[in-house]
A = this chain, B = another copy of it.
Amino acid sequence: MTPDAAYEEMLRLVREETVLASCLELLEWDEEVCMPRNAVEHRAEQRALLAGMVHDRETDPRYEELLAAVEGSPLVDDPGAPIAVNVREIRRTFDKERRVPRRLAEEWARVTAMAQQAWADARKRDDFASFAPWLERVFALARERADAVGYEGARYDGLLDDYEPGMTTERVTALFGQLQSQLVPLVATVRGAPETPRTILARDFPVERQKLFVEATAHALGFDPHGGRLDLAPHPFCTAIGPGDVRIALRYDPRDVAQGFFGMMHELGHALYDQGLDPAHYGTPMGDAASLGLHESQSRMWENLVGRSDGFWQYFYPRLRSTFFESLNGVAMESFRRDINHVAPGPIRVDADEVTYDLHIVIRLELELALLSGDLRVGELPGAWNELYERRLGVRPANDREGCLQDIHWADGLIGYFPTYTLGNVYAAQLFAAADRAIGPLDDAFARGEFEPLLAWLREHVHRHGMRWPVPELIERATGAPADPSFLVESLTRRYGAS
């Protein structure tokens, strides 16, 4: 077989595999947003079947032969060209996935489907005990998976690599350490400032009007309404079903406009990345996101660096005030901004302010490392969780609903995923600073309602490249410097340190 023919066949296989996986994405979206309760077992069967079939294709032995035919050839001479990128990434995934037995892949899908339902029920009833056996099974499967795919240093490396290719436990703990040491004095300063209670957000914000405002804002920031949709779900998320189909799900609180709004801003960042991938490369690594950390950098950028800025609200606050005229009548923009940028440690990660957010992640990393190693037993999780919150953030969750039952991630099998949130914050600050230098001042553009220049810069330097470069290289090319948490600390200090 010629290298050209082998590459063509490889593309056909990988595209078909992606289309099949995209059917699984729809099953998962539907499960969160639409599915009736009694369908849970049948949905688990559907997911297990498709997951097994996707796994069969990921590990199709034909890849070995096709990769061998292309890898030595001149087709892959230019490492930044689509062919070389696709071959490199297909090789990486293939070498990894073929080590995972089909039984494990199917079991993973089946157990996480049931575990998510158990989590949702347990969270509703604040009943950790009913979820504990499922969490046990998920972590057991995670250990099996890590051992199957293999790792050089810590077992956790084998999981982390699924979300942030090439990242290791050692590097992530080092990076978190550096960040923590720079954040501690900042948090101390902020906590030393006089307490100003948030009163504006605790008013009436009718959900139907919140939805309208949120959808109009998403559209104004560049979300293509014909290429996606916004829905309700118990936990906010964004999923890319395929080209022209990127879906955001949100939850709203009728007494807190910030929850739905910043949920949207966060998921919007993900959605804009997905809508910015090159559809011509759909189904191949060149058309896929580079890492979850980079994905998260986009969500955190729109949520915090855009959505909490002065310029943003100069443009949007009059719109917000006319939408919620009863509650915001006479409320100055500065008072509103003080409320939304209020720093106060709390028990809920998704409600956390920018300054304390990364401490929520540090706690989760510590706990999932301990659960994985077995140093912490599942039954001990609620106690350990609450203790760490008290020690690090000075708050003790009132119950498990606002403690260890708050996140869907572990129920969904996402172990090794949490660190990507903080990596995202690090990348976001650095990319935003670079965009500001190149096309800024962005704050002035935002005040004029101009968000397209930032989006265009991100499309040019981040989105359209897919997996062309490993993330550290992409960051360096886009910003001129290696990934460095100082940009995040600088950004937080500038915006929160002076108050």
Contacts and interface: CB of A to CB of B under 8 A. Distances in A.
Interface of A: 16, 19-20, 22-23, 26-27, 30, 34-43, 45-46, 49-50, 53, 224-229, 241-245, 247, 282
A42 B243 contact: yes
Interface majority SS (helix, strand, loop, mixed), chain A: helix
Nearest to A242: B42
Contacts of A46: 19, 22-23, 26, 242
A282 B282 CA distance: 36
Contacts of A37: 226-227, 244
A38 B227 contact: yes
Given A16-B49, A20-B49, A50-B23, A244 B30 contact: no
A24 to B, nearest CB: 8
Contact of A245 (B39, B225, B228): B39
Nearest to A228: B36
Contact of A38 (B35, B36, B245): B245
Most chain B CB neighbours (cut-off 10 Å) among A36, A50, A226: A36
The 3 closest A-B pairs by CB, nearest first: A38-B244, A39-B245, A42-B242
Most chain B CB neighbours (cut-off 10 Å) among A23, A27, A49, A282: A23
Contacts of A23: 23, 27, 46, 49-50
Nearest to A246: B36
A304 B110 CA distance: 42
Contacts of A227: 36-39
A46 B20 CA distance: 7
Contacts of A229: 34, 36
A245 B22 contact: no
A18 to B, nearest CB: 10
B39 A242 contact: yes
Contact of A49 (B19, B42, B225, B244): B19
7 contacts: A22-B42, A26-B46, A30-B30, A39-B241, A39-B243, A43-B242, A45-B242
Nearest to A20: B49
Given A38-B224, A43-B242, 6 more contacts: A26-B26, A36-B245, A37-B244, A42-B244, A45-B242, A46-B242
B22 A244 contact: no
Contacts of A241: 39, 42
A50 B282 CA distance: 18
Nearest to A35: B245
Nearest to A275: B38
A244 B41 contact: yes
A222 to B, nearest CB: 15
A353 B282 CA distance: 49
Nearest to A38: B244
A38 B242 CA distance: 10
Contact of A30 (B26, B39, B40): B26
Nearest to A24: B23
Nearest to A52: B16
A495 to B, nearest CB: 36
A39 B34 CA distance: 19
Contacts of A38: 224, 226-227, 243-245
A27 B242 CA distance: 13
A49 B39 CA distance: 24
Contacts of A228: 36
Contact of A244 (B20, B39, B247): B39
B36 A226 contact: yes
Contacts of A39: 227, 241-245
Contacts of A36: 225-229, 244-245, 247
A34 B39 CA distance: 19
A41 to B, nearest CB: 7
Contacts of A225: 36
A41 B20 CA distance: 15
